[in-house]
Amino acid sequence: EVELSSDGSAVNTGPKGVINDWRRFKQLETEQRQEQRREMERLIKKLSMTCRSHLDEETNTQKQKELQEKINGKVPW
């Protein structure tokens, strides 16, 4: 009588069981590596620096001034 583990594989396995276990291990290892790569890409995107040109800064400053003037009631909506 063969005893089965919780994942359905046999506890006392022969060569085929060992090969299947090795394949499953490699599959899990690959999935873990892919997840780590995705996590690394998310961190890289999150922590990457963005560059803004001088023109972008001037445009942003002008928009901030206009918004502040609208808030203060100097410019009609």
How many Å apart are CA 13 and CA 19, to the nearest integer? 10
DSSP assignment, residue 12?
Answer: S
What's the token pair of residue 43? 């961190």
pLDDT in tens, the chain (77 residues): 555 666 666 566 688 878 888 999 999 999 999 999 999 999 988 887 777 788 888 998 999 998 888 888 865 55
Residue 45 is predicted with a pLDDT of: 86
Q: Is 31 in contact with 23 (CB distance < 8 Å)?
A: no
Q: Is 4 in contact with 11 (CB distance < 8 Å)?
A: yes
| Model confidence pTM above 0.85 | no
How many Å apart are CA 17 and CA 8, to the nearest integer? 11
How many Å apart are CA 54 and CA 32, to the nearest integer? 43
